[in-house]
Structure 1
């Protein structure tokens, strides 16, 4: 049947891993940057160090076994195979929760929060806060199918997730997301209102309130500064992926060193990774876990297909008002910042707002304990 849930196990062929190592060893490197630090991108010396580690010491089978420790499935929706992880809580009254990742994220970034969300009693929490966790891979990402035609933007994905949750037997559920996952989740708050009871995002997508422009708060001034920095220094990747994802795909699909550099630079830019005045991605995340995420992109050959979501949805975001209950957690290292009064202008039923002290764009990856507590707090009133 087309709506069947097919059990799935990750089993990457040994030949694919051997090919990865061989390509890394044969990398033709560019000349080094002409400035200090990361101002021109990820430094050559660090990239070569990472590539050597990836080729000679990194163990994908460890990550594969970790992910295979949870039930995984594929199902076909609107002609596209969707891969997802489904961890049912031991509490039968748990609240169903669908979590959506973004770019350059994946299921990997949530591996530390799945068990505390599903079985809080076993992790120092209250059994009443339990969730049935559904983690799909976005179309074109990971082990989900790759769209063969245009039209798979955030609204289509949100409707797809609604079908997925119905197929799993969940008549009432809540949704969470960051990055593209935030856009998908907020689209569900507009289109899936019959069954979606509320949403939480850790990257609120809102516009500044025009009435505040002449008298911005300190937080809003920081938000303007962050947007100016992003537009001037940090948005090149999005311009390329939103306009010519296919052209980019040729380079990244052929060079694992290129794929490594393309994603690792964002781990440095978007994590809360400053220590003693120095920003470095390994201050926020372990080398192996970042390579787990990057390897998933490489092995699934999803450089071009993942970038196409920018072409589909980045240039015309839907900022229409939302009446469904919305919770927001604004971590300090987030790319796009906003104030509560900006959020309240779009989210007419803002039921939760908090600003944790640590964490960045990859909140569940960087600060799993805080992320779990944010979701428990945000959704407690919707049970």
Structure 2
């Protein structure tokens, strides 16, 4: 697999495309829906408020300008063109750090953290805590080109390792990943461990043999009461909330015909996940994310037309092979785990994670759900900085 030359890139969505999207939102034919909570989907009142804000207040150009603050590039790797931010950090020897997003978010989920990670001295911190920050749009997502065939986490890991080593010239690097980004990060550590100095995660998807995600199993050998209780809670969450996963794995094209045709429908499909997977304890729906944050994520999928190719990662994972490590296989590079109280993917106990990973840092977070870079960026930011310090001391 070969990598090409990087080309500078700037986001510049044609006005005609923005106008078409807004016209479709304004002309959406609302239907009568029963009042109620989010147990049957996004509440109608929330969706109407979101679309009202979308058409009267939200300004894509403002967010486009903000995303263009950082140096951006696109490069062809293995026949797929990948978009990425590359912000060189402060300090005497900043470690390279790649931030990997998942679905239904984009690289924009990390945008507010880039400057703080690269230049901590601008915010009263130590410049030696700075990283060289790389934020790709995952292949097939956002401003990376639409894929010609599905890519799973293992194939994606190979491409992003080439991005960091052959394209950017780093001998080694640190990874942070959540959601799909966490799966890719784990395979980068397994397949390219000689380049990876550490992996920081807020999701542990792959596990030792016999402990598949959502199975309710803990694998061979004895399990602690905490492991057994957690495995059951994950199994229940999997049964309750993963219908979307099965749909996008089995029929990604069929569902895309409908979702990509309707900006309001696509917003509802995505926002449903943002709200449902958030830490909703003691917080109202409207307080989980500001509407600008949610709409920018939606808009990136809309203006790039990448909903379908992003969704195909759900099919590709089943085509790549087992979703557990081989017997005896483990991630040997140092791992930091930020255990946010995620209702969608409840964090395992430390003793369970340590069966397949070399955990050197563990943080039980007081709040925050599945997408901490959007919900609790300050907590995630400090944990990443601490992980960098932990790695430097080793």
TM-score of the superposed pair, with normalisation by structure 2: 0.90
- Name the residue aligned to 1:23: 24
- Name the residue aligned to 1:209: 218
Residues 331/223 of structure 1: CA separation in 2 closer, same or farther (3 Å cut): farther
Q: Aligned partners of 1:133, 1:317: CA distance in 2, in Å?
A: 29
Q: How does 1:55-94 map to 2 (within 5 A)?
A: 55-94=55-94
Q: Aligned partners of 1:173, 1:295: CA distance in 2, in Å?
A: 31
- Name the residue aligned to 2:244: 237
2:350 to 330, 340, 348: 340
Report if the CA contact (8 A) 1:227-1:336 is conserved.
Answer: no
Q: How does 1:180-329 map to 2 (within 5 A)?
A: 180-205=180-205, 206=207, 207=211, 209-210=218-219, 215-217=224-226, 221-222=229-230, 224-232=232-240, 234-275=241-282, 279-280=284-285, 282-313=286-317, 316-320=322-326, 321-329=330-338
Cα offset for 1:56? 2.4
Report if the CA contact (8 A) 1:202-1:328 is conserved.
Answer: yes
Cα offset for 1:145? 1.1
Residues 212/62 of structure 1: CA separation in 2 closer, same or farther (3 Å cut): farther
Q: Does the residue aligned with 1:113 lie in a helix, a strand or coil?
A: helix
Q: Does the residue aligned with 2:194 lie in a helix, a strand or coil?
A: coil
- Name the residue aligned to 2:214: none
- Name the residue aligned to 1:161: 160
Report if the CA contact (8 A) 1:256-1:298 is conserved.
Answer: yes
Q: Aligned partners of 1:162, 1:303: CA distance in 2, in Å?
A: 24
- Name the residue aligned to 1:41: 41
Deviations 1:135-183 (A, max 9, x none): 0001111010111124x11111111111101111111111110000000
Q: Aligned partners of 2:221, 2:57: CA distance in 1, in Å?
A: 53
Cα offset for 1:112? 2.0
- Name the residue aligned to 1:371: 380
Q: Aligned partners of 2:272, 2:67: CA distance in 1, in Å?
A: 25
Residues 12/44 of structure 1: CA separation in 2 closer, same or farther (3 Å cut): same
Q: Does the residue aligned with 2:133 lie in a helix, a strand or coil?
A: strand
Report if the CA contact (8 A) 2:230-2:349 is conserved.
Answer: no
- Name the residue aligned to 2:363: 354
Deviations 1:192-213 (A, max 9, x none): 1121112111112233534677
Q: Does the residue aligned with 1:93 lie in a helix, a strand or coil?
A: coil
Deviations 1:64-90 (A, max 9, x none): 000000000000001111000111113
Q: Aligned partners of 1:214, 1:110: CA distance in 2, in Å?
A: 36
Deviations 1:105-140 (A, max 9, x none): 111111221111101122222222110000000111
Report if the CA contact (8 A) 1:21-1:56 is conserved.
Answer: no
Cα offset for 1:302? 1.4
TM-score of the superposed pair, with normalisation by structure 1: 0.93
Report if the CA contact (8 A) 1:223-1:336 is conserved.
Answer: no
Q: Aligned partners of 1:178, 1:212: CA distance in 2, in Å?
A: 28
Q: Aligned partners of 2:3, 2:239: CA distance in 1, in Å?
A: 44
Residue-pair matches, total: 375
Q: Does the residue aligned with 1:317 lie in a helix, a strand or coil?
A: coil
- Name the residue aligned to 1:7: 8
Q: Aligned partners of 2:130, 2:109: CA distance in 1, in Å?
A: 20
Q: Aligned partners of 1:5, 1:192: CA distance in 2, in Å?
A: 22
Q: What is the root-mean-square deviation in Å for CA atoms of aligned residues? A: 1.9
Cα offset for 1:226? 4.2
Q: Aligned partners of 2:390, 2:257: CA distance in 1, in Å?
A: 48
Q: Aligned partners of 2:345, 2:290: CA distance in 1, in Å?
A: 24
Q: Aligned partners of 2:288, 2:382: CA distance in 1, in Å?
A: 19
Q: How does 1:170-189 map to 2 (within 5 A)?
A: 170-189=170-189
Report if the CA contact (8 A) 1:71-1:86 is conserved.
Answer: yes
Q: Aligned partners of 1:125, 1:212: CA distance in 2, in Å?
A: 45
